[in-house]
Structure 1
Amino acid sequence: MAGLVIPVLASAQETADHQAIRALLDREQAGWESGDAEQIDACYAEGYTQVNIPRGNEEPQFLLATLNTQWKDENRKEWVLASDFLGLKEALADTVLAMQRTYKMSHIDIDGDDAVAIATFSGAFNDTVRGERVEVGWQSLWMLRKIDGDWKYTTGIGGISSFRESTPVP
């Protein structure tokens, strides 16, 4: 008698909370793509903190981490909710730039109403000044909290990894 064994990893099981965190990234990024400032802002908890990790010699320089004050609540709201805010709408519509982008939550770990996630972003665009096609990518670490039943970003740490390559446009 032959049997079929299907391995199952408990940590790989998607829960409703995993799906909600993935949907949060989708909702935020859709806001950037459409220029919907309120949709973007609704993804962030009050008191959100953004940390930048600079890079040197293509390595993250964690000892040079800084707080990004542009993302403090009042600054973020002033910037994102400004009447002239367009997000990425114009850049994505520009056929000369030919911008492409992808994103996904690559890792999510949840403990009750707290979570940590790593998002992976990649994209490409034409640098018309240099005559190059530029490919970029990075990973950001996010701390999240479920607030009144909804997942929100509480802290973002950018620059944990990145790449940038360019090739001449024929």
Structure 2
Amino acid sequence: MRCALQLVDHDRQAPTVFLDPCSGLNYDTAGRALTNTHVAESDATRFNLYIPPHSFAGNSLLKIGLNPKDLPLPDPPEIQIHDQHLSPTQRLILAAEYNDLDAARAAINEGANANYFRLGENNPFTAAIIGGSMELIDLIVEAGGHPKSSSLEIAEIMERDDVIDLIKDLDE
């Protein structure tokens, strides 16, 4: 969900895990999604973390990414925004996160809930902040979507002054 993961280092008896504070999901040190009994089952719980290309430069330095002279980065896992097994609201969230305006319009026309919110899951407004398109945010607002409690914080982290101004205007 593009939030910074937090290291949760238990004692030596329990495994070290990473926590996604936005979704409440836990991942092991290999990036595999762990079963979360306190988080509702959703599409997000079925995906492991995308691990970017990396290498170790010595004993204490991890190099993430590739130099431009290296091979091109692999494509991220393909997300099926148009998968008919997903609800219109789930397709709207994916379309907003991946900046697909046409798919977002189609999902809204199919009855997607632009103001959807469930604790531990992404929502259309926040997904549009992450997706980066002000046009998508405007579309979601026009369809009845509103910022959630974390929207302002996410906009500040992503340095989206345009979204920060919009959220403040909507709050007035």
Q: Tell me the TM-score normalised to structure 1 length.
A: 0.20
Q: Tell me the TM-score normalised to structure 2 length.
A: 0.20
Structure with higher strand content: 1
Relative contact order higher in (CA < 8 Å, ≥ 6 apart): 1
Structure with higher helix content: 2
Larger Rg: 1
